[in-house]
A and B are shown apart, each in its own frame.
Chain A
Amino acid sequence: MSRGRPGRDDSPDRLYTLTGGRSSSGSDAFDLVTLIVAECDPVPGMQSEHAAILRMSRFPTAVVEIAAELGLPVSIVRILLADLHGTGRISARHPRATTYRLPDLDILEQVLVGLRNL
Chain B
Amino acid sequence: MAYPTEYRYTKEHEWIAVENGTGTVGITDYAQNSLGDIVFVELPKVGDALEAGKTFGSVESVKAVSDLFSPVSGTVTAVNEELVSVPEKLNSDANTTWILKLELADAKQVDGLLSAAEYEAFTSEETGH
- A and B: interacting chains: no
Query: Which residues in A have some Cβ–Cβ distance to B below 8 Å?
Result: none
* Residues of chain B having any CB pair with chain A under 8 Å: none
